Chains A and B, each alone.
Chain A
Amino acid sequence: MKRRDFLKLGGILAAAGAVPAASSLLHAGGTDVTNGSIRYGMVIDLTKCDGCGECASACRTANNAATFPDEKINNHLLRIAHVKPKFPNSLEQAIPLMCMHCDNAPCVHVCPVKASFVRKDGIVLIDKHRCIGCRYCMIACPYKARSFVFKHNEGFTNPNIPKTMHGVVEKCDFCVNRVDHGQMPVCVETCKMKAMSFGNLNDKDSQVSRLIASGRVHRVREDLHLGAKVYYLGL
């Protein structure tokens, strides 16, 4: 073997060694999100939810959501809706609403720059460094899960999470930074009624899978066939 060939071979071997090293960066916090074994979902037990709204305020603080006194531009990543049937004296039901992390997400379909995408583990994310702020996703989302940052966001309540800049769109990301470090989304952790559960839909022994298997769960606007991954018990 000539010296030049030896150097070439060494280069190839070094490159081969670098590939697994680089791919290990994707295994953030020890969970492998790339092999498709994990599909995150959430089940919200509406029979337990009393609509206190603590999940919504904890979400706002933990995710640095753009917060302004003007309600029209105040962003809600998670909100409590009050829903009641059109009957006299019917009972009002509190329903926490957020991004439903659809498998067939319309926001992902319409994004002209692929800034919105469904990660391998099913979480719908926004690349805020790529988003052009055209707001087509806000038009397309049937859940009104997305909010535009209408001006510079002064609040910076959680230094561990980057806040969204003026001019792009933000939404619930299942607290992806917490999930990647093995924690629960902040709403699930905050709920004092333990009404929310989060976990792997592909694991049939997980709490979310067992609740869904009970057959009593529904999703919001199932008629749109979006494959939403937030399920409601008692909807």
Chain B
Amino acid sequence: MKIYFTKINGNSMGMYALLAVLAIIAAAGMYATYAMFSQGHYITGMNNQIPWGLPIVVAIYCIGLSAGSLVLSALSAVFGQKEFKPFARIAVFVAALLLVGSLLSIVLDWGRPDRVMLPFLYLNPRSIFSWNGFLYSSYIFICIVYLWAMFTGRDAWIKPMGILAVVWAVGVHSGTGAIFGFINARELYHSPLASPTFVTAALSSGTALMILILVSTFKATGRFLDNRLIIGLAKLLGPFILVVLYFVIVEYVVRLYTPSTYEPTSFVLFGGNVYTYIFWVGLILLGSIIPCIILFNPLTKNSIPWIIFASLLVVIGVFCERLIFVLPGQVFPLNLFPDMEMSSDFMDGVITWYQVSVAEIAQGLGILSIVAILYIIGLKLFALLPSEARHLEHEL
């Protein structure tokens, strides 16, 4: 079956209106970023107890979505799922864009973004960040070469590039998990499971996001999208969610069982605070249980609206997982004197809440808007989208 990829027309009023709205949000985000540097980072919710806030959550979330959507493109090229070939180009393109978004979020979170080239000049082989700087930049490059091979019809390149891209995506997201997993100082970070959890969460959130992007893009451009393709993706999504849930359960049970980590873990799970709700309602109920019921229930698993609803929940649920990963490890005080009571005038021994600020939210939304603008421009400039996405069986 020959698949024809074409550019979108992109002349409708709706599209210009959408672009205008996105541009306003992006401008607000850039203004918030400017304010952080002209007035100081105290306008964010971050402080000396909580040095990493929402920007880091957004960054690692985007990396996850990126790694997940790339694997989707590899389904046809590497894993022999030929029916997903119509999505090969768009998935790689989205993967590259989301990585650009996450890099923006990381760099604009720094105190000195003007020194952006220094990590490349002074590599520190013991630093996970240094490794990630190398992995992320080479990952964008691999995505571009992969796209180029598909656009120019170099079929011999596509499979090797696909394999390389999948290996790199796993490396990129293992590296992102390792940022936290390698930190011995914080009980809620230090974990060998951090990297595998991040990779599986990437698969589930990336697949869910691609379902949402595909359905909305095909609908907005009036192109035909075979329901069986979306149902096929949803069949992958269900098991991904279960694997993430399994890793999360293992991690938290081990931490609850260990006396030295019991206190911070029970603070998250049973503390009755905002993180308790994010964990149980956001991650477990909305992000895992309800989507699983939808995706494994014979009544709903073949219904497109239900699949879209489940995908939306998964995208939100994995964001909650990221919040739970980054924030409580800092909110719960460091344990300098184990099993003793500690206090000082530097927030020692007390819980310091992270109050997210308008500036950070604006910056995060602004970066997501920039990604969306680039996505629309990309569709208009390049033949990324198939003129129609039919299941292979139509051929027979």
Contacts and interface: CB of A to CB of B under 8 A. Distances in A.
Interface stretch (B37-45, B227-235, B281-289, B295-303): B37-45
Interface string A111-140: 111110000000000000011111110111
24 contacts: A76-B48, A76-B346, A79-B345, A81-B342, A82-B344, A85-B341, A106-B185, A112-B119, A112-B122, A112-B129, A113-B115, A114-B124, A132-B112, A134-B106, A135-B111, A139-B51, A148-B48, A150-B46, A150-B47, A167-B37, A167-B110, A167-B111, A167-B112, A224-B184
A112 B175 CA distance: 13
Nearest to B109: A134
Interface stretch (B330-338, B362-370, B387-395): B330-338
Interface of B: 37, 39-42, 46-49, 51-52, 106, 109-113, 115-116, 118-119, 121-122, 124, 126-130, 133, 179, 182-186, 189, 330, 334, 336-349, 352
B110 A76 contact: no
A113 B122 contact: yes
A132 B127 contact: no
A4 interface: no
What are the 5 tightest A-B residue pairs by CB atom distance, in nearest-first order? A133-B111, A151-B40, A167-B111, A142-B185, A72-B47
Nearest to A223: B338
- A contact patch SS: loop
A175 B41 CA distance: 27
Interface string A132-173: 111110111111100111111000000000000011110000
Interface of A: 68, 70-76, 79-86, 97, 106, 108-115, 130-136, 138-144, 147-152, 166-169, 220-221, 223-224
- B contact patch SS: loop
A167 B336 contact: no
Nearest to B355: A72
Given A73-B47, A111-B127, A132 B118 contact: yes
A139 to B, nearest CB: 6
Scoring B106, B185, B345 by chain A CB atoms within 10 A of each residue's CB, the highest score goes to: B185
A85 B341 CA distance: 6
Given A133-B111, A152-B40, 10 more contacts: A81-B349, A83-B342, A86-B340, A106-B183, A109-B127, A111-B129, A132-B111, A134-B111, A136-B129, A167-B37
B40 A70 contact: no
A224 B336 CA distance: 11
Contacts of A144: 48-49, 334, 336, 346, 348
B185 A224 contact: yes
Given A81-B348, A97-B336, A133-B110, A114 B122 contact: yes
B75 to A, nearest CB: 34
B147 to A, nearest CB: 28
Contact of A166 (B40, B106, B184, B330): B40
A146 B344 CA distance: 15
Contacts of A136: 127, 129, 179
A82 B350 CA distance: 12
B48 A73 contact: yes
B344 A151 contact: no
Contacts of A139: 51-52, 183, 185-186, 189, 330
A231 to B, nearest CB: 15
B341 A84 contact: yes
Given A73-B47, A112-B133, A83 B340 contact: yes
